[in-house]
Structure 1
Amino acid sequence: MNRPAKITITNEVNCIVTGLLPDHIDYFYEAYGKYAPNYFFQKRFTLGKWDGKIRYFYKKGNTFVYLLDEIVPKLYAFGYKVNLVDQRTGGFVEIPQIDKTYISHIINPKTGKPYELRYYQVDSINASTQVGHGISIAGTGGGKTFTTAILSDLYSKAGLKPIVIVPNTSLILQTIDEGFNELEMDVGEYSGDRKDINHKSVVSTWQALQHNPEMMRQFDVVIVDECHGLKGQVLTKLLNEYGSHIAYRFGCTGTLPKPEADAMAVRIAIGDVVHTKPAHELIEEGYLARLHISVMQLDEPFKEQYEEWKRDNPGVKMTYIKFKDSYFPTYKAEKSYLQLKKERLQWIADLIDTRRNMKKGNVICLVTSIAFGKRLQKLIPNSKFVYGKDKAKIRKQVYNLFEEHSDLVVIATAQIAGVGISIDRIFNMFLIDIGQSFIRTIQAIGRGLRKGADKDHVDVIDVCSDLKYSKRHLRERKKYYKEAKYPFKVHKIDYAA
C-alpha cells in the first residue's frame, strides 16, 4: 500500500511536504542543495560550520512551488500517494493570444509605418501568458522593452495591476520612454525621485522598493527585467516574501547565471524558462549587429625582475612564465598593478583614441574601477566618464550623444553601463580587465549589439594581461564566447617594446 504524503501550497511561492520518511527527507535535502558561489572563501565553510550549500528543500519539508514539477514525480517513484492541498485563492486569468499586429495601431516614428512585432516577441509573450509565469531569454537588442510593456498591458486590460522591476534608475527612464510611452500605454514611476503609482502599470527599481517593501502587496503581476539579478537577497525577498501573493510573475534577461545556486534563486521566484532566442540567432537573422571580438592580451614585462631573481637564487630552476605567474600572490595585488601601470594605461588610451578617430568611431569603454576609469579618461581628449554617482538623467544625456556624434568616447563602470542601456550607435566596445563573470561579460557585449540606421557591425576589444589571474579569467571568457557562438581572435601584444 502506498504511503501517504501531503503537499500544502501556502502561497504562490512556498509549500511544505509532510509525511516523508527520514531517508527521503535527506534525499530531497541533498538533491536541492546547491553550492553557493565562492563558498570556499566563506569563513563559516573554512571553520566547518557550513557545507557551502544553499538549501531549496528543508529538513521540515519546506520547499518552493516552482520545484513541485520535479518533486512530485519523485514522490510517486518512491511509492507515495500524494494529497495536494492548495490554500491559494483566485482562479487563473486567461489572457488572449496575440499576433504581430498587436501594436499596429501605433506608428513607428523612425519609419513612419505601423509597428509590427517580431515573431519571437509574439512567441515569448504567448508562451508566458499561457502558463502565467516564467523566464524569457533573448539577446540584448531583441526587443525585451516592448515585450515587457505588452505583458503589462495585457494583464492590466484583464483588471490586474502589474509592476515592472528594473535594475537601476536609468532603466526606469528607458523602459517608460522607449516602451510604455512609445506604445501609448499608461504607466507610473516609483523611484527615489518620484512616487507616482496611480496608473495601470508601474515601473520601479528594487532599490526604491527595499525602503517600502510593503508596496509589493498592491500588485497582482510582477515582471523582472534583467531577472538574473534575482540572485541578490533584496530582490529575492521582495518577490518571495512581500510579493508571495503575486500569482503572475515573469522575468526577462539575455543571460541566466552559471552558478547553480544563483540559477535556482531565479527559478524559485519566477519559474522555468518558457522561451529562448539567443543572441547568435538574432545576429544570423539580421535583428542584431554582427560582431567580432579581438582579445588584446598584453605581455607584462618582468624580464629585469626575473634576471634579478635568478641572480639571487642560483641553482633554483623556474621558467619565466612560472616566475610571472607567482609574482603577485593575490588577484587584488595583480589588479592593482595592472590599473596603476602608467605605460599600460597610456597604451590602452592610445588604442581607444585611434579607434575613435576612425570613420564611425564611437567608443564605449567598460571598466571595473572608478579610479581606473577616471585615470583613463584624463588621457583621452574630450572623453567622458560616467559612474554611479552621476544622476540617471545625466547618464542618459551622455548616452544620447551617441546619436549625434561619430567620434565619441564614453568610459563607464560595468556596473552602471554593462546592463540594460539602449544605445544604437556603438561601433567600438572596449572591455578592460573585465574579469571572469559570465553575466558581466555577456551582458556587457550585449550593449554593442543593437543595430542602427548606419550600423550593422560592432568591434569588441577585450583588453587583458598575461599574468596569472588575468589568464585564468580569459580562459573563462573564451568559454563564454564559444558558448555564445561569438567569433573571437587572441592577439598577444608586446606593448612595452
Structure 2
Amino acid sequence: MVEIIVEKENEVYLRLICEPSVRMELNHYFRFRPKDYQFMPMFRRKKWDGFVYLFNMDNGRMYYGLKPEVQRFAYDREYTIIDQTNDPYGKISNEDYYEFLTSFPCEYKLRDYQSSAVRHAINRKRCLLLSPTASGKSLIIYYIIRYYSPKKSLVIVPTLSLVSQMYSDFDSYARADKNFDVEKLVHKIFGGQEKTTDKQIVISTWQSLYEQKKNFFSEFELVIGDEAHLYKSRSLTKIMKSLENAPYRIGTTGTLDDIEVHKLILEGLFGSTKKVTTTKELIKKKTLSEIHIKCLVLKYSKEASTIVSKLNYQEEIDFIVSHTERNKYICNLVESLSGNSLVLFQLVEKHGNILHEMLRDKIDTSRKVFFVYGGTDADSREQIRSIVEQERDAVICASYGVYSTGINIRNLHNIIFASPSKSRIRNLQSIGRGLRTSDTKKSANLYDIADDLTHKERKNYTLNHFMERIKIYTSEKFPYHIYTIPIKG
C-alpha cells in the first residue's frame, strides 16, 4: 500500500512524507510552465527547465491551500492519505448560520449569492471567492469579518483608494450597529500611517506591508486578500507566507488569469476556488446594469501607417498617445456624452496630463472635471468619488492603475478606454466600473478606442491588442459594435 502522510508545518505549509518514487510523482504533478517561459533569459541560457515547482522534493513542503489537490492526486492513484493536520471539519448548521445573520443590525442585506459565499467561506475556512466586479465583495468581506470577530483580521487591498473605500463601506454597513464602532475597531494603513495598532481590524495596501518583519503578522488569525489576482507578485506572496498563524484565509476577486499556473499559486495561498456568480446572471437579474460597447477604430493615413510600421511597441504607444488629432477626438467624444464619464489612460506624463488639460479647456465650466492618478492622495480620491456620486455630468480623467481596480462609483454612465490595453483582468475590471446600478442609471456605455495603423499586411501592435479585447467581449457575452472612423495625420 502506498501512503502519503500529510503533516501541518504551519498555516502556510504542509509537509508531505512519502517514498522517494511518490515524491518524484508529486514533483511532476505539481509543476507547470509559466507563460512565455521560452523567452526568459534563464531558460534560453539552459540554466532553468522552464517549470515552476509547487512541491519541494527536498523537504516535502507544499502550500497548505493545495491540500484538496493532494487528496485528488492520491485518490486518482489509489494511494492512501494519512491526514495528521487535525484540521477542523464540519459545516455551520442552518440554525447557527441564521443566528449569526441576525446577531447584528445591517442596513445592507446579503443577496442569495453573497450569503452563499459567506457561508462557503465559514465552512471551508480557506477559499478563493470568484465573484464578478460590482457584485458586492466588500459586503461579503464585512460579514466574514463579523463572523470571526473578535479575532484579529488583516484585509489587504491593492490601492490607496481601496483602503479608504473599504473603510467607508464598513462604516456604512455598521451605521445601525452600536456595538461595532468602525473608528475604534478598524485601522487604516497606507503611506506614512502608523502600522502598529491594538485595533481588531487592519486594512492596508500590500505596499505598506511588504517591508514589515514577520513578527508584525504573528497576531493575525484571519487574512482577506481583496482583488486576489494581483497576488502573483513576489511581494504579496511574501506577505502571505509571513502569516504563519492565520488559519482563516479568504481571497476575493472578480477575475482570474486564464493561466492555470496562476490559479494554482493563488489556491495554494488561500484555498480552492468557489465561483459565486457571473456578470451575465447579475445583469439578467437586474442587479447590475447592462453594458453597451462601442468600438471606435481610428483609421490613420497611409503615411502615418508607414511610419508606425517601423516602430517598436513602446514607440508606437508614444506615437498614439501624443497624436493631437486622436486626443482631440477623445475630448470631442467626452464633450458629446451625457451623464458622468470616466476617461482611462495609461501614461500620466505623456497622456493623462495632456488629456486633462484639453478636457478642462474643452468642457463647459458648469461640468466638473477631475484628474486622478497614482500621486493623488487617498483622501482626495475618496472625496472625488463621493462628489461624482452626487453629480450628473462630471468627468473623471484617471489612470488605469487607480480606477480599473475596485473603485465603486454607482453613478457612472460612460467609460472611455483612451489607452490601449490587452490585459484581460484590467479590461474586465474597468468594464466593472460601469456595471453598478443607481437611481439615475440602468445601463452604461463603454467606448473602446482602437488604432488601425495597418501597413500592407502588417497589423500594428495595438490593433492586435484590440482584437484581444474583442475576444474578451465575446467570451463574456458583452454586446459590441465596431465603427471605423478616419482620422487626420
Return the alpha-carbon distance in structure 2 between the equivalents of residues 472 and 100 of structure 1.
Answer: 51
Residues 73 and 351 of structure 1: CA distance in aligned 2, closer, same or farther (over 3 Å) = closer
Q: Deviation string for 1:122-165 (max 9, x for gaps)?
A: 11101110111212222222111111111101101xx4222211
1:244-323 alignment, distance < 5 Å: 244-301=244-301, 303-304=302-303
8 A contact 2:452–2:463 mirrored in 1: yes
1:74-473 alignment, distance < 5 Å: 74-78=73-77, 80-86=79-85, 91=88, 96-98=96-98, 102=102, 105-106=105-106, 108=107, 115-156=108-149, 159-183=150-174, 184=177, 185=180, 186=182, 187-191=185-189, 192=191, 193-195=193-195, 197-214=197-214, 215-239=216-240, 241-301=241-301, 303-304=302-303, 327-355=309-337, 358=338, 361-371=339-349, 372-381=351-360, 383-467=369-453, 468-473=460-465
Return the alpha-carbon distance in structure 2 between the equivalents of residues 68 and 20 of structure 1.
Answer: 18
Paired residue for 1:309? none
Residues 475 and 458 of structure 1: CA distance in aligned 2, closer, same or farther (over 3 Å) = same
Describe the SS at the equivalent of 1:343.
helix
CA shift, 1:213, in A, is: 4.2
Paired residue for 2:457? none
Return the alpha-carbon distance in structure 2 between the equivalents of residues 21 and 211 of structure 1.
Answer: 38
CA shift, 1:297, in A, is: 1.3
Paired residue for 1:316? none
8 A contact 1:221–1:249 mirrored in 2: yes
CA shift, 1:3, in A, is: 3.5
Return the alpha-carbon distance in structure 2 between the equivalents of residues 438 and 459 of structure 1.
Answer: 19
Q: Deviation string for 1:409-461 (max 9, x for gaps)?
A: 11111111111111111111011233111110001111111111111111011
CA shift, 1:103, in A, is: 7.7
Q: Give the letter aligned to residue 312 of structure 2.
A: T
Structure 2 unaligned runs (5+)? 364-368, 454-459
8 A contact 2:114–2:276 mirrored in 1: no
Residues 100 and 449 of structure 1: CA distance in aligned 2, closer, same or farther (over 3 Å) = farther
Q: Give the letter aligned to residue 44 of structure 2.
A: T
Q: Give the letter aligned to residue 439 of structure 2.
A: A
Residues 405 and 102 of structure 1: CA distance in aligned 2, closer, same or farther (over 3 Å) = same
Q: Deviation string for 1:335-356 (max 9, x for gaps)?
A: 111111111121122112222x
Paired residue for 1:485? 477
Describe the SS at the equivalent of 1:373.
helix
Residues 362 and 58 of structure 1: CA distance in aligned 2, closer, same or farther (over 3 Å) = same
Residues 178 and 79 of structure 1: CA distance in aligned 2, closer, same or farther (over 3 Å) = closer
Q: Give the letter aligned to residue 328 of structure 2.
A: Q
CA shift, 1:231, in A, is: 1.0
8 A contact 2:155–2:225 mirrored in 1: yes
Structure 1 unaligned runs (5+)? 109-114, 307-322
Q: Give the letter aligned to residue 12 of structure 1.
A: E
8 A contact 1:14–1:65 mirrored in 2: yes
CA shift, 1:256, in A, is: 1.5
Return the alpha-carbon distance in structure 2 between the equivalents of residues 280 and 94 of structure 1.
Answer: 30
More displaced 10-residue stretch of structure 1: 139-148 or 198-207: 198-207
Q: Give the letter aligned to residue 251 of structure 2.
A: G
State, as a whole percentage, how many aligned pairs show the same letter.
Answer: 26
Return the alpha-carbon distance in structure 2 between the equivalents of residues 417 and 305 of structure 1.
Answer: 31
Q: Deviation string for 1:64-113 (max 9, x for gaps)?
A: 22223222343355454443333x7x85697642489648834x4xxxxx
Describe the SS at the equivalent of 1:238.
helix
8 A contact 2:5–2:84 mirrored in 1: yes
CA shift, 1:62, in A, is: 2.6
Return the alpha-carbon distance in structure 1 between the equivalents of residues 2 and 388 of structure 2.
Answer: 66
8 A contact 1:149–1:180 mirrored in 2: no
Return the alpha-carbon distance in structure 2 between the equivalents of residues 366 and 347 of structure 1.
Answer: 15
Return the alpha-carbon distance in structure 2 between the equivalents of residues 137 and 70 of structure 1.
Answer: 18
More displaced 10-residue stretch of structure 1: 34-43 or 282-291: 34-43
Residues 305 and 196 of structure 1: CA distance in aligned 2, closer, same or farther (over 3 Å) = closer
Q: Deviation string for 1:239-297 (max 9, x for gaps)?
A: 1x211321111011111122222222211111112242111211110111111111111
Paired residue for 1:18? 17
Describe the SS at the equivalent of 2:405.
coil
8 A contact 2:344–2:419 mirrored in 1: no
CA shift, 1:196, in A, is: 6.5
8 A contact 2:293–2:481 mirrored in 1: yes
Return the alpha-carbon distance in structure 2 between the equivalents of residues 296 and 73 of structure 1.
Answer: 48
CA shift, 1:21, in A, is: 3.9
Describe the SS at the equivalent of 1:135.
strand
CA shift, 1:41, in A, is: 3.7
8 A contact 1:6–1:85 mirrored in 2: yes
Q: Give the letter aligned to residue 274 of structure 1.
A: K
Q: Give the letter aligned to residue 397 of structure 1.
A: Q
8 A contact 2:116–2:276 mirrored in 1: no
More displaced 10-residue stretch of structure 1: 273-282 or 367-376: 273-282
TM-score between both structures, scaled by the size of structure 2: 0.87
Q: Deviation string for 1:347-390 (max 9, x for gaps)?
A: 122112222xx3xx211011111121111111112532211111
8 A contact 1:128–1:274 mirrored in 2: no
8 A contact 1:293–1:462 mirrored in 2: yes
